[in-house]
């Protein structure tokens, strides 16, 4: 093989491993680092406090063991209610998300104003935390699982609405154009060409939303919105740590089972 | 300049095509994107039952022309008289009704990949039958399902009816797309390089099938192609496009190699 003559670039050697940041970028890095350090100071987090806290956690764990299973049946019923809140809240949220997502998908929305308004509504649902929604619905519909279910529904709309819309925007435009060319209506095009293509993403997002709703549902009880959270709060307030341990274990099992089932379903469906 | 080297033969445009029997008539069509003109004053007529090939080099505006005819691309001005209707003045609902009668075969099959071949063919009845019952084959009326199976049989693919579109070969997919077009019961068919995405062997099979179906049913066809052999074999007339303008319009048998060389700038098309 003939020798290749060295070019000017090869004589100069490779470029630097790291690019030198620009002045503005450098200032941004320094400012971000300074803010992080200041924040650590303001949140009062210190090695000393951590060191003192660890034995207390050990002490609490000691008081929690062995778990008290005497109220297992009642805890099981509350756990079932928690899961039912998650299922119904997620299901309602997913169903409502679909039409909202169509209106919030850039090239499917009937008008730019509708697109902007629905996108804004979905963002609002997503940015307000589920615990705040639970507080609002406790005031609106009273204490109990209905408030929690509605809070989970709104939270799911915020989550699924965005991802459904993005999934539809990312679908192949070819089948859509084919449907337009053969005279299909806008609705027909969405249901025949867009939704079938976005379906794997819809299923994936829906299963994640169920997992998310299950995790959220266990804490909503803290504000009186139903579910097992209230049991945990009462147990902790009354220093019944062994019962609290049983509740935490039950929550762990529920979340784990839902996550595993969701992963299995995802692998089967997609 | 290549465009200047191409002989413009506008007088041949109307040759032998009586206006009364024209299925498609285009006049002074102007299409452009922003300030960039793509088609500049195109005009031609296609008689009922005629097969017309549109040829030209890349960027000549062949696909843009076909898409403009049914307003998948909005023309800036001009006249498009299609199946007795002035296309550019139609409202959305009227345009949908017209499109339902015009078959369009794309270069890429444009099937919905996750749906079965049968469902994709059932979609062809969407404008005619309407409603959710044409969204999926499982929801469709028996008559629609039977007709879709018949269309699949006509392209020789009845046995893959249940197979998902993304499990079909390129040639099979394009044949399913042709079956979907047949399901429209079209009055006129526009085909944008219908075999350009296929390997040569599959391309020959699909083109032969497509042209045979069109000939047997006496359907009016306008197709674009890079394959001059296809243009000569399957078209009654050939329209040459270059630089967004009409270079020639004449019977396919009368198009000489020299004229095509001029169109493609001396390259083999």
Is residue A211 within 8 A of residue A258, CB to CB? The reply is yes
Please check whether residue B267 lies inside any domain of the structure: no
* A47 in a structural domain: no
**Chain A positions in Cβ-Cβ contact with residue B177 (cut-off 8 Å):** 178
Answer whether residue B4 is part of any domain.
yes
Closest-CA residue of B relative to A176 is B110
In a domain, B260, yes or no: no
Do the Cβ atoms of A192 and B127 come within 8 Å? no
Residue A219 counted as domain residue: yes
Identify the CATH number of the domain in which residue B97 sits: 3.40.50.300
- Is A203 in CB contact (< 8 Å) with chain B? no
Q: Give me the pLDDT at residue B260, please.
A: 85
Q: pLDDT by residue (tens digit) across B97-148?
A: 999 999 999 999 999 999 999 999 999 999 888 788 999 998 999 999 999 9
Kindly state whether residue B257 falls inside one of the protein's structural domains.
no
Interface pTM, i.e. ipTM: 0.85
Bridge partners for B232 per DSSP: none
**Nearest C-alpha of chain B: how many angstroms from A193?**
6
Domain membership of residue A200 (yes or no) is yes
Number of domains in chain A: 1
- Is A261 within a domain? yes
Residues in chain A, pLDDT under 50: 1-2
Residues B193 and B87 in one domain: yes
pLDDT digit string, tens, across residues B212-243: 989 888 899 999 998 888 999 999 999 999 88
Q: Is residue A21 in some structural domain?
A: no
* pLDDT (0 to 100) of residue A160: 96
Task: State the pLDDT at residue B15.
Answer: 40
| Residue A251: domain span | 82-269
Count the domains in chain B: 2
Res B16 pLDDT > 90: no
Task: Specify whether the CB–CB gap between B132 and B144 falls below 8 A.
Answer: no
**Domain co-membership, B181 together with B191:** no
SS3 content of chain A, % helix, strand, coil (to 5): 80, 0, 20
State the pLDDT at residue B25.
92
pLDDT number for residue B267: 47
Q: Between B97, B98, B110, which is nearest A177 by CB?
A: B110
Same domain, B94 and B37: yes
Q: Please check whether residues B18 and B86 belong to one and the same domain.
A: yes
Do B155 and B144 belong together in one domain? yes
Confidence of residue B19 (pLDDT cuts 50, 70, 90): very low
Q: Does A110 touch chain B (CB under 8 A)?
A: no
Residues B247 and B141 in one domain: no
Residues of the domain holding B153: 111-185
Q: Are residues B89 and B213 in the same domain?
A: yes
**Window 192-221 of B, Cβ < 8 Å to A:** none
Q: Which of A174, A179, A185 sits opposite B123 (nearest CB)?
A: A179
Gap from A178 CA to chain B (nearest CA, Å): 6
Q: What are the backbone dihedrals phi and psi of residue A103, each rounded to the nearest 5 degrees, phi first? A: -70, -20
Does some domain include residue B258? no
Of B127, B132, B181, the CB nearest to A191: B132
Q: Which residues of B223-257 are buried (b: 16+ CB within 10 A; e: fewer)?
A: bbbbbbebbeebbbbbbbbbbbbbbbbbebeebee
The answer to whether position A194 is within a domain reads: yes
CA distance linking residue B35 with residue A176, whole number of Å:
27
Q: Chain B residue with minimal CA distance to A174?
A: B110
Q: Is residue B60 part of a domain?
A: yes
pLDDT value of position A97: 96
* Span B168-203, pLDDT tens digits: 999 999 999 999 999 999 999 999 999 988 888 888
B245-251 vs B237-242, strand pairing mode: antiparallel
Is B178 in the same domain as B122? yes
Judged by CB atoms closer than 8 Å, whether chains meet at B124 and A177 is answered as no
Q: What is the CATH number of the domain that holds A116?
A: 1.10.3720.10
Residue B82: partners with Cβ closer than 8 Å, 6 or more residues away: B23, B24, B25, B69, B70, B98, B102, B188
Judge whether A23 lies within some domain: no
How near does any CA of chain B get to the CA of A190, in Å? 10
Judge if B138 and B6 occupy the same domain.
Answer: no
Cross-chain residue pair A184–B96, CB shorter than 8 Å: yes
């Amino acid at each position: 093989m003939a020798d290749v003559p060295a070019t000017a670039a090869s004589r100069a050697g490779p470029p630097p491993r790291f690019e030198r940041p620009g002045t503005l970028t450098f200032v941004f890095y320094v400012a971000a680092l300074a803010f992080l350090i200041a924040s650590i100071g303001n949140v009062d987090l210190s090695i000393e406090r951590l060191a003192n806290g660890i034995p207390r956690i050990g002490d609490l764990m000691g008081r929690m063991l062995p778990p008290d299973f005497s109220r297992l049946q009642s805890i099981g019923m509350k756990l079932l209610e928690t899961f039912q809140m998650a299922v119904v809240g997620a299901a309602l949220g997913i169903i409502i998300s679909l039409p909202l997502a169509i209106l919030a998908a850039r090239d499917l929305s009937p008008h730019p104003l509708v697109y902007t308004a629905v996108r804004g509504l979905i963002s609002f649902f997503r940015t307000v935390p589920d615990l705040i929604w639970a507080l609002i619905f406790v005031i609106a519909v009273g204490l109990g699982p209905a408030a929690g279910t509605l809070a989970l529904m709104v939270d799911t709309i915020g989550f699924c609405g965005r991802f459904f819309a993005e999934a539809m925007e990312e679908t192949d435009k070819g089948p859509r154009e084919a449907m337009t060319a053969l005279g299909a209506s806008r609705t027909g095009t969405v249901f025949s060409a867009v939704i079938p293509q976005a379906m794997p993403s819809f299923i994936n997002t829906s299963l994640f939303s169920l997992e998310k709703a299950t995790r959220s549902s266990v804490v909503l009880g803290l504000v009186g919105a139903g579910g097992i959270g209230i049991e945990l709060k009462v147990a902790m307030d009354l220093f019944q740590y062994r019962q609290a341990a049983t509740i935490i274990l039950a929550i762990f099992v529920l979340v784990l089972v839902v996550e595993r089932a969701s992963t299995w379903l995802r692998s089967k469906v997609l | 300049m290549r465009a200047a080297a191409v002989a413009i033969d506008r007088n041949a445009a109307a040759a032998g095509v009586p206006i009364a029997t024209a299925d498609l008539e285009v006049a002074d069509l102007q299409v452009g994107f922003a300030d960039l003109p793509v088609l500049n004053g195109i005009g031609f007529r296609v008689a009922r039952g005629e097969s017309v090939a549109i040829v030209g080099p890349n960027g000549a505006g062949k696909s843009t022309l076909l898409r403009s005819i049914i307003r998948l691309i909005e023309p800036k001005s001009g006249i498009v008289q299609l199946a007795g209707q002035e296309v550019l003045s139609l409202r959305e609902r009227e345009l949908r009704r017209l499109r339902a009668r015009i078959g369009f075969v794309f270069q890429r099959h444009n099937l919905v990949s996750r749906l079965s071949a049968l469902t994709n063919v059932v979609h062809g009845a969407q404008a005619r039958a309407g409603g959710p019952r044409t969204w999926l084959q499982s929801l469709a009326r028996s008559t629609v399902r039977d007709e879709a199976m018949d269309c699949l049989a006509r392209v020789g693919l009845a046995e893959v009816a249940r197979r998902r579109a993304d499990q079909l070969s390129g040639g099979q997919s394009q044949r399913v797309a042709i079956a979907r077009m047949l399901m429209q019961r079209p009055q006129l068919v526009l085909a944008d390089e219908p075999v350009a995405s296929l390997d040569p062997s599959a391309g020959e099979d699909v083109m032969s099938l497509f042209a045979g179906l069109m000939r047997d049913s006496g359907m009016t066809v306008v197709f674009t192609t890079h394959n001059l052999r296809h243009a000569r074999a399957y078209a009654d007339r050939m329209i040459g496009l270059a630089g967004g303008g009409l270079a020639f319009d004449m019977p396919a048998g009368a198009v000489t190699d020299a004229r095509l060389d001029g169109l493609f700038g001396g390259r083999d098309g």
